[in-house]
Amino acid sequence: MSSKIYSEKSKIHGMGIFAKRDLTKGEFVAYIKGNTSTVKRQLLHTPEEALMNQDWVGFSMSCWIDPEIPFKYLNHSCEPSCGIKGKKGLYTLKALKAGDEIAIDYSIVEGNPHWKMDCTCGAKKCRKVIKSIAFLSVTTFKKYYPLIPTALRNFYIKYNHPS
């Protein structure tokens, strides 16, 4: 477990991950640990398949991490404090104070266009319904870049700007 995080009850949902100390913008927080699972099909084809394993963290169109605790408690926010660099590196998008919740935008870890979830994150700019990275606005994509898993970043560009 990283010396920078701890878990406790969250105002967003259930349990959450929090900063043990002040963190600067762009600071490495931890590597998300867990077992890696691969789905042989490039895309899952139905909304039901898209909702399988909802707490998994995707880093490509067919690979996910089934996160270990405390990373299983990584909550979503429409105004996230962190993003993911590479496949498993959790980095801050902004400076955090000790006790601030560490949350990501789940859109950056899901490529399946069928995937969606209702959102109750409570952020001022809450989108109410979260969809896969394919549906992020260009402004939001640019705000998170480069803290989006590489394969999903490339998928977004291809999906939104086909040749």
Residue type at 59 in one-letter notation: F
| 8 A C-beta contact, residue 38 and residue 87 | no
Quick: pLDDT tens for 105-123.
999 998 888 888 899 999 9
**What values do phi and psi take at 123, rounded to 5?**
-65, 150
Tokens at 114, concatenated: 């069928």
Residues contacting residue 157 through CB under 8 Å, at least 6 positions apart: none
The more confident residue out of 111 and 20 is 20
**What are 34-56's pLDDT values in tens digits?**
988 777 654 555 555 555 555 66
* Measured distance CA(39)–CA(100) in Å, rounded: 34
Average pLDDT, rounded, for the chain:
87
Domains in the chain with CATH codes: 5-154 (2.170.270.10)
